[in-house]
Amino acid sequence: MASRDCESEPDSNPDHRRSIRSTEEDEEEERPAKHRRSDGGDGRGRPEGEMKQRYLVAVEYVGTRFSGSQQQPNCRTVVGVLQEAFHKFVGKPVSIFCSSRTDAGVHALSNVCHVDVERISKRKPDEVLPPHEAGVVKRAVNHFLQKNEGDIMLIDVRCVPPDFHARFKAQERIYFYRLLCGPEPLSTFEKERAWHIPEELDIFSMEQACNRLVGCHDFSSFRAAGCQANSPIRTLDELSVLEATPSPNFPCILGKDMVNTFKEQPLECSTSSEMESSTNSASGMHSNNGVSIAKCSELFGQRRSHRCYIVTARARSFLYHQVRLLVGVLKAVGTGELKISDVERILNAKTVTAASPMAPACGLYLGNVKYDFS
């Protein structure tokens, strides 16, 4: 069972259950309750002197083996793994609240959560100690996370006031989508890390399509049927596509002399016909550009890289599956399946049935969630 992929979908935790709204409406109409001293739900007040520290936690993870970010029964989720690690650290259950939901298979370079932690003395269980420093929390929780598959890690921890909410205080969210283009199968290292497109992409046309989508629009055509946000109106602050270096990127295996030769005289001997057309010389066979065929053979066993393109989407909040639907349309423009004029037609149709097939989850990365700490 996959969780729902939307950055703007509300928390499903019973403590935060409410009518479904967009992120903007939630922030304006129903802010989370102020921090109260309670024991976690049994109705009894806390003794004087007990206190909790709220921590803002930035976490990175590879989403391949997670059934999404939100906790679900009998599923491995980001929140579930984090809560287990914090439980082992502090010795009691905690609740984790995420700024952004991610679906099964979606990755995060930095998702942000908040958690309330009470530091209890292990020697004297009735004694409450001063809160841990943020660095201590980071090191301790990562110690337990690394024992759990090793595909999730805290990258930053910060002490925040008790009313600071990871979701409602978010000012901006940035998503990246990776596309790898080329006829060869993806490298083992890239499996489940990008969307493989066998065809070449027309980046210029894709950039023009991006320009038609930036701004405040009714994005009904770019939200999944299950989206429960009241309003489809969103302001897309940025939508862009650029070429990037494929990952993983290693130094050239060939020697420096060979690299310099390639720079001066680009090697073009990828086919047997090109090699056969090379001319003989006193020193041996050479290709038409003067590079030795023997040197060409040194390329054996080295995979040719795919071209890598990154789509960046930036906004305060997104609709359910909005980014993946946007990428699906951009890809169709890049391959020539759609014209640039079709983008406006799809946008104006205000129905998801007009859009191209949605991009797969594996290429989507939650890049960053921004806050104003002033």
User: Tell me, what amino acid is at 367?
Assistant: G
Question: How many whole angstroms separate alpha carbon 360 and alpha carbon 364?
Answer: 8
Helical H segments across the chain, by residue range: 23-29, 78-90, 134-145, 203-213, 256-264, 272-276, 293-296, 322-335, 340-349
CB–CB of 59/108 below 8 Å?
A: yes
Question: How many whole angstroms separate alpha carbon 216 and alpha carbon 233?
Answer: 7
CB–CB of 341/369 below 8 Å?
A: no
The structure tokens 């841990």 sit at: 132
Which long-range CB contacts under 8 A does 23-32 form with residues at least 24 apart? 23/167, 23/168, 23/170, 23/316, 23/317, 24/316, 24/317, 25/230, 25/231, 26/167, 26/168, 27/168, 31/165, 31/168, 32/163, 32/165, 32/168
CB–CB of 328/182 below 8 Å?
A: no
103 noted as active-site residue: yes
Question: How many whole angstroms separate alpha carbon 169 and alpha carbon 212?
Answer: 29
End-to-end CA distance of the chain: 40
User: What are 178's strand-pairing partners?
Assistant: 310
And the tokens for 321?
């599956």
Active-site pick, 5, 103, 126, 372: 103
**Catalytic residue set:** 103
